[in-house]
Amino acid sequence: MSISAKQIILDNPPTGKVEYDLSSPESTFKVVTKELSESQLGPKQVLVKTLYLSNDPTQRGWIQKDQDPAKAYVPPVLKGDIVKSLGVGKVIAAGSESKYEAGDFVSGFMGWTEYGIIEETAIFTKIDTTKKLPLFYYLTIFGMTSLTAWIGLHEIAEIKETDTVLVSAASGATGSIVVQLAKKIFNCKKVVGISSSEEKCKYVESIGADVCLNYNDEDFAKKLAAASGETGYSVYWDNVGGATLDLALLNLALKGRVVACGAIAAYNDSSLSQINNWFCVITKRLTVKGFIVGDHAAKYGEAINTLTTGLMSGKISVKEGVDFTVVDCQGDKFDQVPKTWGKLFSSKPNGKLVTLVSEN
């Protein structure tokens, strides 16, 4: 068996602007065709047919030029490598010692390629197709942001029913799942969201928050303190850093836990990341844990089970904040894969942008 696969490789690792157009001589990427066969498989490798690709802003970091692989945030994509991407695929063939077999549907680290040979450690989960959920759900409701929410609450915060949880960016992709999981699945005593408008706050309350506070409200600081109750918030889920984190530190309970998930306040201006209330970490005996969901792949199965059950029982909603757009890049349209990803940085579609590479 030999398969001819179109692949998009990193040809000119960028330092600044990315050129998405493959026909440009300056293109960051290049399409190549590669012959793949089962005989190339190592004992714990699998040959996967790509069905759907995830589009994530973080991929920009992976392709940055001149990264030191020993010190990089995640292993970088080097010149000549297939561009790495999260995806959903179908196992076509598996190595002699693999735990997967032909016909399995899987999600994990894949790439911008019609077919790819990957290590089985790159696979997060084997999809339970008996649930008959759309396969691209494994890049949306069961994707990185939802896994991040579950891992952060379950593994990092070690969330309990007695917790009073404060969540920033509560209407966002991760925050909205954190709110739902904390309130409806982990049954936390109280969940308080923070968002940027009355309208978003209404949405956050509609999905389960006991109350959501608008940080543009002039009484925000006072309301945040009041909502913390007598002892303060026992858990703060931080998506934003900066001034919101600072205020949260002041309102945390003794021995409170901070889940450090994001610091969007500083992405474009590092001066906004300043923390002034660090002393609270000591006086309140706080524990602050930064985490990367990718370190917890062994728990993805458990996370997806919880999310599936929550979704099927109606406790978790996928209507907003985790909405999706599927862009068809099948067959001749495969060279649109880079431009589709590039939409994240230009037209910024709502919800999750999913690339369809093959329907089955």
How open is the CA angle 255-297-90, to the nearest 5 degrees?
Answer: 155
123-140 in b/e burial notation, b at 16+ Cβ within 10 A?
bbbbbeeeeebebbbbbb
Please count the residues of this chain forming the interface with a second copy, following the rule CB under 8 A: 33
Pick the closer one to a second copy by CB: 153 or 245.
245
Q: Confirm if 213 and 192 have CB atoms less than 8 A apart.
A: yes
312 binds a second copy (CB under 8 A): no
Residue whose C-alpha is closest to residue 11's, from 68, 72, 79, 111:
79
Q: State which residue, 35 or 230, has the beta carbon closest to a second copy.
A: 230
Instruction: Using CB under 8 A, pick the residue from 263, 297, 326, 344 that binds a second copy.
Output: 263
The DSSP line for 157-175 is S---TT-EEEESSTTSHHH
* Minimum CB–partner distance for residue 261 and a second copy (Å): 7
Candidate ranges 6-14, 20-28, 33-41, 282-290; the one touching a second copy (CB under 8 A): 282-290
Minimum gap (Å) between residue 67 Cβ and a second copy: 13
- Rule CB under 8 A: is residue 313 a binding residue for a second copy? no
Q: Does 175 bind a second copy (CB under 8 A)?
A: no
Instruction: Choose, by CB under 8 A, the member of 88, 286, 322, 354 that binds a second copy.
Output: 286
Give me the DSSP letters along 97-127.
T-S--TT-EEEEEEESBSEEEEEGGGEEEE-
Segment interacting with a second copy (CB under 8 A) among 38-46, 104-112, 130-138, 283-291: 283-291
Of the two residues 253 and 356, which places its CB atom closer to a second copy in the complex? 253
Q: What is the DSSP string of 178-233?
A: HHHIIIIIS--SEEEEEESSHHHHHHHHHTT-SEEEETTSTTHHHHHHHHTTTT-E
Task: Report in angstroms how near the CB of residue 201 gets to a second copy at its nearest.
Answer: 25
Cα gap 28→83, rounded to integer Å: 10
- Tell me if residue 271 falls in helix, strand or coil: helix
Q: Does 58 bind a second copy (CB under 8 A)?
A: no
Scan for tokens 């940080």, then name that residue. Answer: 215
Q: Per CB under 8 A, does 260 bind a second copy?
A: yes
Minimum distance from residue 18 beta carbon to a second copy (Å): 21
Say whether residue 292 binds a second copy (CB under 8 A).
yes
285 is an interface residue for a second copy by CB under 8 A? yes
Closer to a second copy by Cβ: residue 278 or 345 = 278
Query: Stretches 9-17, 23-31, 42-50, 266-274: which one binds a second copy (CB under 8 A)?
Result: 266-274
Q: Does 287 participate in binding a second copy (rule CB under 8 A)? A: yes
Q: Pick from 18, 78, 250, 281: which binds a second copy (CB under 8 A)?
A: 281
Indicate the angle between helix axes 173-180 and 198-206, nearest 10 degrees.
Answer: 40
> Using CB under 8 A, which of the segments 81-89, 140-148, 255-263, 301-309 binds a second copy?
255-263
Distance CA 334, CA 47 (A): 19
For the record, the structure tokens of 220 come out as 């925000």
Beta carbons of 86 and 353 less than 8 angstroms apart: no
What is the contact surface with a second copy in residues (CB under 8 A)? 70, 73, 230, 241, 245, 260-263, 266, 270-271, 273-292, 295
